Structure 1
Amino acid sequence: MAAFGRVSQMLLRSYLTQVRRQLSAAAAGGHGEKSAKTWKMLTFLVALPGVGVCMLNTFLKAQHHSHEQPEFVPYSHLRIRSKRFPWGDGNKTLFHNPHVNALPGGYESHE
């Protein structure tokens, strides 16, 4: 059994040495420069135009979006306040927007 362990360790060491040599030879052969050029081209030709198209789509959708206040429906499972928030009056969430976020009793008046 001990002989099997020694043989398996020797084979593992030789395999790892071979892999290290192959990896170091690939790195020395300029492989990194080629992949860096590929990723640079993908960034400028695919990623940045993709971000630009997404921004344009969002902008155009926002132009056609209605900015009216949605109707308040007092669902029992929404806006539950089991304890007060530790800021402000204790009833509004941290990022409360009076135009979009309703309180348990309804929307705040804007007048």
Structure 2
Amino acid sequence: MAFRQLVRRFATQAPNISGPSATAGDHGGMKLWRNLSFLIAIPGIAVCWINAFVVNEQEEIGPEFVPYEHLRRRTSTFPWGDGNHTLFHNPHINPLPTGYEHHD
């Protein structure tokens, strides 16, 4: 009988997943998320932007090409272009089976 009462109690009570400060009429939750946005999210986006566009521009030398037999295997040609380049081919990042393209 005690188990049924316990199950009924948990089934009828709504869980409080938003925390104690985000209740109706209280703006504590709004202040918390506003502060988190300004103090964590915006600086985090700025750091990611700096890493993506400023730091990576300085790294012009790509990895050394090693002609492994199991990579870049072409059993048939691609149906576009010359048949050797992938659909989203980038000559600075994606090597061909013979190595990187050098367009100086």
- TM-score where L is the length of structure 2: 0.63
| In 2, Cα distance between equivalents of 1:97 and 1:77 | 20
| In 2, Cα distance between equivalents of 1:78 and 1:57 | 29
| In 1, Cα distance between equivalents of 2:102 and 2:41 | 44
**What is the Cα-based RMSD across aligned positions, in Å?**
3.3
Change (3 A) 1:51 1:109: closer
Asked which structure has the greater CA Rg, the reply is: 1
Aligned residue pairs total 100
User: Which letter maps to 1:92?
Assistant: H
Change (3 A) 1:14 1:49: closer
Residue 38 (str. 1) matches residue 32 (str. 2): yes
| In 1, Cα distance between equivalents of 2:33 and 2:44 | 15
Highest RCO, 1 vs 2 (Cα 8 Å, sep ≥ 6): 1
- Stretches of structure 2 lacking an aligned partner (at least 5 in a row): none
Q: Decide which of 82, 85, 91 is 2:78's aligned counterpart.
A: 85
CA deviation vs aligned residue, 1:45-70 (integer Å, no higher than 9, x gap) = 211012112322444423432x2465
Q: Decide which of 11, 17, 30 is 1:16's aligned counterpart.
A: 11
Change (3 A) 1:72 1:8: closer
Change (3 A) 1:15 1:59: closer
Higher helix residue share: 1
User: Which letter maps to 1:47?
Assistant: A
- Stretches of structure 1 lacking an aligned partner (at least 5 in a row): none
